[in-house]
Structure 1
Amino acid sequence: MQRSNIEIPQAPSGCCYDDEATFFEDTKHRVASKNKLLVAIAICMVFMSGQIVGGIISNSLAIQTDAAHMLSDILSFAIYLFSLWASSWKATPRYTYGFFRIEILGALVSVLITWIVTGMLCYTAIDRIIHGTEGHDVQGWVMVLIGSLEVCLNIFLAPVCIQSAYIHMMGDLIQSIGVLIGGIVIWLKPKLRIIDFIFTFVFALLDLKTTLTMVRKIFGVLMQRVPHGIDSAVLGQDLCETVDGVDAVHQLHIRSLTSGKVILSLIQHVKQEYKISNVTVQVELSEDVNQGS
């Protein structure tokens, strides 16, 4: 192997832990997302309050479970909103990667709260099934009213949501339609109030599926898994073929600070070609590699 012909500029006298251009672009993205999230949180808070009141009045556990799902949405929006603010904190000598993972930690707390609330509602549903539903008559017309309002809400919020939350909002729409259908059935056939319990378990399973998807993403970030859509082998080969002076690439590590925020040990070529924001490079001369082998 020949010596790698790469010039490394001297570090500036003042040490900086953030790239100013990247920081400016992140700031514009934060402002745009913040406004959408504030609108979504305000509207969801109003409707969640209505769900809780409607669930108590109608004696419907399905509505209360749907309210728990709405609580999960609000917590997710609030945590992401907080993370947008926290990510504006510049990196420090102690926290050189910044504070992007606050979003991941907050998402984990949101999942735990959702599991606790949903578990309590499922326990109540099982208790009513075992000990009978006497004194727990479900008011179908209230379910129809709440379900109709929820469907309208989700249709309204669909264009407001950030792209990453769109699929989640579609899940909310499905649950709202379920409440509406269940309410119509119970309104027409009051003795079929068992449907309310069935929908409670169905909604709980949907919540579990949604949160498990979140847990997998959280686990991937914390375990520093290679981000989705990037093939490290192909990327390493591409570096050797396209970047002058690079003889070989070894110990290539790719990871996410948080959802959508990637860090990679590469050079400026990767910034442009793969749209990765932060780059860390460790250069070894060919003779150093040979001596170490």
Structure 2
Amino acid sequence: MKPDADKKKLVLALVLLGGFMIGETVAAVLANSLALLSDAAHMLTDTASIAFALIAMTLSTWSSFGSYTFGLKRSGTLAASINGLTLTGLGGYLGYEGIHRLIDPPEVGGATVLIVGCTGIVANLLATWTLAKANRDSLNVEGAFQHVLNDLYAFIGTTVSGLLVLTTGFMRADGLAALVVAALMLKSGAGLIGESTRVLLQAAPRGMDPERIRATLLSESRVTGIGDLHVWEVASGFPALSAHVVVGDHSDPDDVRRQLTGLLDEEFGIDHTTIEVARSSTAPTAENISARGCPPLRGDSPVRIPPEANRVHER
């Protein structure tokens, strides 16, 4: 999916949800419905998340400049983190208010809640369908999608509460619907915070096991040791790797590096690599590596790369 196509989908969803949010806020005040007001608050976070996604999508395309050697590629991750924090905060507040409504339920305009809820389902179905076609491998876009999807579920709950209030007079249904919305917001918010934190803390991307990568590198017959292996994600869909590699005395370091670079790209989709290669006879012991805080070498030769033997290659 091209970035420009994703932007168009995000803009369409932003206009659709932003317009509906204004109308829903007015209806919530007129109907005295916390369920509708919670939906409107959720839609506010929807529109904000989409706006953040659009801004982050633009910033992430900037090339490196000054001290920002990766450009602003993690702006999308920051946007997802902000979205998660917003969802969590609003979810907690609405849960608190929902409990109060269960204890002391006010009068609620059931007909208004029902009509607005049904309309909201249609609006969110359109927005969800639009964003589902965007590139959801991006944590940034996925954050916006999760906002809208949860709002769809919330509107279903609101519609049911409006129907119950209208047909049975059960006013606590409004508070119950608000609690359902709050629970969904907390769940999605926690998920976004967790995923964005993994990227910011430079954990290995999901589905990429560093030990399996180490074993794959060691499967190359000329490699006798692997040390200082790091696998992380610069941004969504941008994995990176660095490693110290030790080879036999008669091996060509440049040829081994090319072989390993191609292997990492083919097996794991990692095409941004920094690999230092040295022959075993010129490298110091593994104890020196441990002393400087690097992960221990694994393989036949417990060695570290000396400065004069370093060969660095980046793609």
Structure 2 counterparts to residues 94-243 of structure 1, below 5 A: 94-130=67-103, 132-133=104-105, 136-161=106-131, 162-164=134-136, 165=142, 169-190=148-169, 192-242=170-220
Structure 1 stretch displaced more, 47-56 or 268-277: 268-277
For the pair 1:283 / 2:283, whether they are aligned, the reply is: no
Q: Tell me, in whole angstroms, the C-alpha distance in 1 between the residues paired with 2:100 and 2:34.
A: 12
Q: Tell me, in whole angstroms, the C-alpha distance in 1 between the residues paired with 2:91 and 2:146.
A: 21
* Residue aligned with 1:262, SS: strand
Q: Is the 8 A contact 2:39 2:181 kept in 1?
A: yes
Could you tell me how far 1:98 is from its partner in structure 2? 2.0
Could you tell me how far 1:237 is from its partner in structure 2? 1.6
Could you tell me how far 1:168 is from its partner in structure 2? 5.3
Q: Tell me, in whole angstroms, the C-alpha distance in 2 between the residues paired with 1:46 and 1:263.
A: 41
After TM superposition, the score normalised by the length of structure 1 is 0.80
Amino acid at match of 1:254: V
- Show structure 1 runs of 5+ residues with no match: 1-27
* Structure richer in strand, relative to its length: 2
Q: Tell me, in whole angstroms, the C-alpha distance in 2 between the residues paired with 1:174 and 1:64.
A: 15
Tell me which residue corresponds to 1:20. Answer: none
Query: CA RMSD of the aligned region, Å?
Result: 2.3
Q: Tell me, in whole angstroms, the C-alpha distance in 2 between the residues paired with 1:263 and 1:193.
A: 54
Structure 1 stretch displaced more, 198-207 or 150-159: 150-159
After TM superposition, the score normalised by the length of structure 2 is 0.75
- Would you identify which runs of 4 or more consecutive aligned residues in structure 1 move more than 6 Å? none
Amino acid at match of 1:38: V
Could you tell me how far 1:97 is from its partner in structure 2? 2.0
- 1:166-208: CA deviations, max 9, x gaps? 5654433222211111111111122x11110111112111100
Question: How many residues are matched?
Answer: 261
Could you tell me how far 1:112 is from its partner in structure 2? 3.1
- Show structure 2 runs of 5+ residues with no match: 137-141, 244-260, 288-315
Q: Is the 8 A contact 1:253 1:264 kept in 2?
A: yes
For the pair 1:248 / 2:225, whether they are aligned, the reply is: yes
* Residue aligned with 2:48, SS: helix
2:38 to 57, 65, 85: 65
- Report % sequence identity: 28
Amino acid at match of 1:281: I
- 1:36-87: CA deviations, max 9, x gaps? 1111111111121122112111111111112222222222222221111111
